[in-house]
Structure 1
Amino acid sequence: MSQNIQPQPPAPDSFTAAPAPAPARTGNIGLGIVAAVVAALVAAGAYGGIMNAIDREVGYAAIGVGLLVGLAAGKVGGRNPVLPAVAAVLSLGAVYLGQLVFIALALADYGKVGVGDVLSEVGI
């Protein structure tokens, strides 16, 4: 007597189960860019204020500006590969703007005028 017995597939367990689906992408690139812009503006003001307070330029503070902008973009925007490039460009702009704020503050102190007057003359 010949019986046709079909073999049963093994029951799924931790070794044979299908791989778990990829986790959903977290973060939002738009919010990451907005957070980086806000962080760049805040860091530029702080950088200019620090330089004005000590009357000299501090290179390490410029590195801090870049770290702050990159951290804000990464925390809010997630691991999107575009965000580091955007954060780097915004960091350079923030350092430049911080130096302009420092110059405006120094000219305001020197000329005994308001900072708003100096900024309006410069075009900021």
Structure 2
Amino acid sequence: MARIYAMAGFEISVDHGVLIMRTQGVRKSEHGKDAGRLFDLMESPEVHGVMFDIRDADYQLSPLEWKERCLEIARQCRGRKVAVVQRDEQAEMTAECRATLQQKGLECEAFASKARAMEWLHQGLDTTRPAQRRLG
């Protein structure tokens, strides 16, 4: 896996055509602003899916902030499958976001493991594609 970008509580990498965004710790409204400009990595034709691994994160957002975050994710991830790797207690929160993404025409599912999420993201893909690309 090629590590692309990391800062306190946030890491982005690309692995086998999937942009993986991993968050940790307390996440507030201002934390989403740093990640927004990194989505330009998804402009690569080799990135076909996005995985949000939020198992180690604690989101402290108002309902409006959460809705805005989900709409921004839908805008940035257009045309790609989206997988959310979550803890059981995050299911209600992520269900709302997944519904928003699905209303915007994205395929989005939740998983308890990265392996299962990666398997779903790769379903139906051309396996002759390059396995990995190092960026940066």
Report the structure, 1 or 2, having the larger strand content: 2
Find the structure with the greater CA-based Rg. Answer: 1
Report the structure, 1 or 2, having the larger helix content: 1
User: Normalization by structure 2: what TM-score?
Assistant: 0.28
Tell me: higher relative CO, structure 1 or 2? Use CA pairs within 8 A at least 6 residues apart.
1
User: Normalization by structure 1: what TM-score?
Assistant: 0.30
